[in-house]
Copies of this chain bind each other. A is one copy, B any other.
Amino acid sequence: MRNAENLTVAVAGATGAVGREMLAVLAEREFPIGHLRALACGRSAGERVSCGEHEVSVEELNPESFAGVDIALFSAGSAISKEYGPIAAARGAVVIDNSSCFRMDEAVPLVVPEVNSDVVASEIAKRDDGEGFIIANPNCSTIQLVVVLNPIDKHAGLERVVVSTYQSVSGAGKKGMDELWDQTRGIFSQQTVEPKAFPHQIAFNCLPHIDVFEDDGYTKEETKVIKESRKILGLPELRITATAVRVPVFSCHSESVNIETRSKLSAQDARGLLMESPGIIVIDEPETGKYPLGCELAGTDATYVGRIREDASTANGLNMWIVADNLRKGAALNAVQIAEVVLDAWGRA
């Protein structure tokens, strides 16, 4: 029996952009940590990190790191997750993994708590007390999208979805943010900063290329949005397409989303529905110039929706603009919310 008031929590990748945000979110939400273990690969070991009252040294990640760990949050890249995720689960930890490597594994739940927290409860119900397993945290662009698509699907049925993203550089981690900053400053001082974190210049430029290209011409980022949305929403046949674009913005991903529903949903009804849906804040007052703006919403927790309007080009069409902080709801916060769902399920088990 886990002691829910005295959990051992590990964060793998504790010094990265998402790892640091995970520690901050755990502290803010007063997650009941008895023991904290901060893990990273070699070069960050020894750094001090804090999480509320806990201040610990970062330990080098190794197979023994997970002995006695109840919950392990991973955000150290796919290779680390692939190697250490199953080891941590075998040692009894519930692994909440932010990488893409287990997301499409049929045996692994892919969870956005506002949408499908029930799959966590059923995973726990079917396992022995103390048994570990892996839960995947979805792609950042997918999370904010499905938080909004789910209530629309439940209410009016999704017919087809067309997404174009406006993704911030923080999705590429600290090196992405540094590159936008340095390249922009370089343009002011007439010095060239060669692209490293991104395939081409990102300062004052839009890049229609995130993650690697696949054979069908889509990027892996676009394919993630398509496939992960279907899995989380439980709609394996959902008609959805995506174009993923990196924009010269530090925080928050924005999305222009066109939705066709099975039954008619007016803009006003969509606004009312989304206002009452979990995790969503509607900011939609064009007459006073109010709509979600990434520059104002960085560091916040909700998924924001605005510019909700009917699309007359189809029978039951809607356009909208969805914004969320990709490091928080798009990564760290969603992972911690999954941990809270796990905790709750243990409490009820």
* CB of A208 within 8 Å of the partner chain: yes
Decide if A258 touches B287 in the complex (CB within 8 Å): no
Partner among B208, B216, B239, B319 whose Cβ is within 8 Å of the Cβ of A291: B208
Of the stretches A92-100, A127-135, A242-250, the one at the interface is A242-250
B-side contacts of A295, CB under 8 Å: 200-201, 204-205
Bound-complex Cα distance A205 to B239 (A): 30
B-side contacts of A312, CB under 8 Å: 241
Mark A306-317 against chain B: 1 for CB-CB distance below 8 A, else 0. 111111111001
Q: Which bracket fits the contact residues of A?
A: 35 or more
Residues of A301-346 contacting chain B, CB below 8 A: 306-314, 317, 319, 321
Decide if A289 touches B200 in the complex (CB within 8 Å): yes
Bound-complex Cα distance A164 to B242 (A): 11
> A288's closest neighbor in chain B, by CB?
B213
Decide if B313 touches A162 in the complex (CB within 8 Å): yes
Residues of A171-187 contacting chain B, CB below 8 A: 180, 184-185
B-side contacts of A166, CB under 8 Å: 166, 206, 245, 247
Decide if B241 touches A319 in the complex (CB within 8 Å): yes
Q: How far is the CB of A177 from chain B (nearest CB, A)?
A: 10
Partner among B205, B254, B286, B313 whose Cβ is within 8 Å of the Cβ of A206: B254
7 tightest Cβ-Cβ pairs between the two chains A and B: A217-B309, A164-B164, A164-B256, A239-B313, A205-B295, A213-B286, A243-B256
Decide if B217 touches A313 in the complex (CB within 8 Å): no
Decide if A248 touches B245 in the complex (CB within 8 Å): no
> A258's closest neighbor in chain B, by CB?
B162
B-side contacts of A184, CB under 8 Å: 184, 188
Residues of A143-192 contacting chain B, CB below 8 A: 160-162, 164, 166, 180, 184-185, 188
